[in-house]
Amino acid sequence: MVTESAQGPGRDRLAQDFVRFAVESGVLRFGEFKTKAGRMSPYFFNAGLFDDGAKMGRLAQFYAQALVASGIGFDMLFGPAYKGIPLGATVAVELARLGRNVPFAYNRKEAKDHGEGGTLVGAPLKGRVLIIDDVMSAGTAARESIALIRAAGATPHAIAIALDRQEKATENGRDVQHSAVQYVRRELGMQVCAIARLADLLRYLEADGGDPQIHAHHERVLAYRQRYGVDD
């Protein structure tokens, strides 16, 4: 879901195009993969495999188009280390190409004690900050970014991700009845913009259900959603 208010045929087409792009790029794979929560997932989204200029450029286009469609207002971008760094940079470039030039910043995992020093690089954090990341599993990285942005005197306003897994988060090793995205929306009061959701992946697989292998992937992903999924 791009946002709760940005739905419709245009949003659906963008999501389906993105899922197809991710599958064809080898970023979205099917099989058996262990998640951070210890679950065996029938699919895996590895944004690190957007690994050349053409893929990163296309990915940035998807983020920018989803953000424009969402109507979310923001003053700058922040890319959390590590995957958020190239995402923040390339999405800033694409937004500027579309006529929306905004500053961006990112953080280091380790503080420097020379040069500019500290953990923050790029534009000063101020105003309404949009965090750019790949996925949100437990929401830990989001909370860390939020704390960092607030400490700098800025406002963590929204988060943009590539894929919303729409599955239950875990707390203290136990499943809870909300996802990380729902937690960020409801408990932290932030908007979340996702290019695509697990529901979009299921629709993609269903549309190609004539292929026995694709049908098998659909059945496994659907079973996973029925077991661990959340309702939006």
* Residues marked as catalytic: 112, 114
What whole-number distance in Å separates Cα of residue 132 and Cα of residue 78?
Answer: 6
Taking the CA of residue 144 as centre, how many other CA atoms within 13 Å lie in the half-sphere pointing to its CB? 16
3-state secondary structure of 93: helix
Q: How far apart are CA 87 and CA 83, in angstroms?
A: 7
Determine the Cα–Cα distance for residues 217 and 193; give it in Å rounded to an integer.
Answer: 26
Contact call for residues 60 and 90 (beta carbons, < 8 A):
yes
In contact, 164 and 192? CB cutoff 8 Å: yes
Beta strand extents in the chain (DSSP E only) = 28-34, 40-45, 76-79, 104-112, 118-122, 128-132, 155-164, 170-171, 174-175, 191-197
The residue assigned the tokens 């695509």 is: 196
Compute and round to an integer the Cα radius of gyration of the chain.
18
